[in-house]
Amino acid sequence: MEYKSCKLKEVIVLNPKLKLSKNTIAKKVSMDNLIENQKRIESFSYSQFKGGSKFKNGDTLLARITPCLENGKTAYVDILDSDEIAFGSTEFFVLRPKEDLMDNQYLYYLMRTHKLRNIVIKSMTGTSGRQRAQKESILEFEVNLPSLKQQKIIAKILKNLDDKIELNQDIIANLEELSQTLFKRWFVDFEFPDENGNPYQSSGGEMVVSELGEIPKGWKVVQLKDLAGHKKDTFNPKKSGEKEVLHFSLPAFDNRKLPVLDKVINIKSNKWIIDENCILFSKMNPTTRRIWLTSIDDKYLNIASSEFIVLKSDNSFNNAFIYNVCTSDGFNEFLVSNATGSTNSRQRVKPDIAIRYNFAFNSEIASLFSEAVEPYLEKIKLLRNEIQKLTELRDTLLPKLMSGEIEIPDEVWGDEDELSI
């Protein structure tokens, strides 16, 4: 595979000029809309354009401010209509290849390489907490560039992996939505099937007064701790004989809910030990929902951040119901209303309060519910495990393909279909 050495300024445009009139209502992508180490832009808003970066489909957005740059906020724009222009944070670098010199997708993956990112990070200047990368670190970066055809093939290999990851994420989101929709219908609206298979409450099912208001006859009010144990087995890194552990941390949750393999020597505080059929929910900042249906790897000791509260049930069947209690709006509202501490970043819910959440319960209906949704949750676990393997494969291949350490066989260059997953 032949390469041409050049500086990036010869083949890309940084912050290209686009026309978007002041006060125009357009799609806005803020820094919060970018997910760390994820290609896809998950969300956006509509807003009046007053200023900021402007971009169109095919552009790459790179965070230039700390800690967003270091944390991997880099995205590929493909959420717009043809010729549509959007805008976003002034803290984005917008990158676009020059026509016929570099492939758009290849440029995105180039910006994901550690070699280039480390140089950009080292260029950061400014006061602590507000440091920004300098554009010259990108423009002056020397790259060995393969032919445009070869760029497209390399990018397609990596894109296929990202596409499969995104497809799995979409399936997970749909399965979770189906589970929670059914939970709300049965345990909030009380429209579970009666003895004739009809919706209970709207078909005239008898209701009785309780401390929560009216609930179906034969139901009772229970607390979360009545159905799941509060697991508090402690992991002390200073006393552990383990060298590596699988760590369910808050940053790992925010990064696609994938635990990370950490060296024990790098862990500075006590954690919780977790095993099969554990559900985690964050006691910190409950306005940001963090509920984790864990999938355990028996090759390692599995631990969780002490900012999580660990619930333990007897089996995956019971877990299906408990998980949906924890993901419900009612539970989140309870956590938010019981959070104490300074506003914004450091509010917490006391564990003993969190596990006393009250809700209406009927064991027979809960069993029917678990029977319906448990397969969904097991599928979610499998899909997340697959996402982890695909992510590891992509991150292993990316630097090797971009550097030429792995070469694509000549016969593949002419048949892109061979590269599908």
pLDDT digit string, tens, across residues 156-194: 999 999 999 999 999 999 999 999 999 999 999 999 999
Q: Of 345, 362, 379, which residue is a domain's last? A: 362
pLDDT of residue 54: 97
Mean pLDDT of 55-73: 96
117/261 same-domain check: no
pLDDT digits (tens, 9 = 90+) for 391-420: 999 999 999 999 989 888 766 555 555 556
Q: For residues 104 and 393, give the distance between their C-alpha atoms in angstroms, rounded to a whole number.
A: 22
Q: Of 104, 128, 146, which residue is a domain's last? A: 146
Mean pLDDT of the chain: 94
Q: Give the CATH number, domain containing residue 244.
A: 3.90.220.20
97/228 same-domain check: no
209/321 same-domain check: yes
HEC readout, 392-418: HHHHHHHHHHHHCCCCCCHHHHCCHHH
pLDDT of residue 417: 55
Helix intervals (H) in 255-345:
316-326, 329-337
222/285 same-domain check: yes
Closest CA to 44 of 87, 15, 10: 87
pLDDT digits (tens, 9 = 90+) for 1-57: 788 999 999 999 999 999 999 999 999 999 999 998 999 999 999 999 999 999 999
Helix intervals (H) in 205-315:
224-227, 250-254
What would the two tokens of residue 59 be? Answer: 């552009």
136/27 same-domain check: yes
pLDDT digits (tens, 9 = 90+) for 339-366: 998 766 689 999 999 999 999 999 999 9
What would the two tokens of residue 18 be? Answer: 């686009």
Which band of pLDDT confidence, cut at 50, 70 and 90, is reported for residue 316?
Answer: confident
| 177 part of a folded domain | no
* Residue found under tokens 């489909």: 57
- Most confident stretch, 82-91, 125-134, 313-322: 82-91
Residue 248 has pLDDT above 80, yes or no: yes
Distance of CA 101 to the CA centre of its chain: 33
| 379 part of a folded domain | no
The count of domains in the chain is 2
pLDDT of residue 412: 58
Output the pTM of the full model.
Answer: 0.89
Which residue range forms the structural domain that includes residue 355? 198-362
pLDDT of residue 314: 82
pLDDT of residue 377: 94
130/29 same-domain check: yes
Q: Of 128, 146, 164, which residue is a domain's last? A: 146
Per the omega criterion (within 30 degrees of 0), is the bond before 67 cis? yes
What would the two tokens of residue 203 be? Answer: 């078909």
Residue 421 has pLDDT above 70, yes or no: no
255/139 same-domain check: no
Mean pLDDT of 372-384: 95
344/202 same-domain check: yes
- CA angle 388/379/222 to nearest 5° reads 110
Percent of the chain having pLDDT more than 90? 88
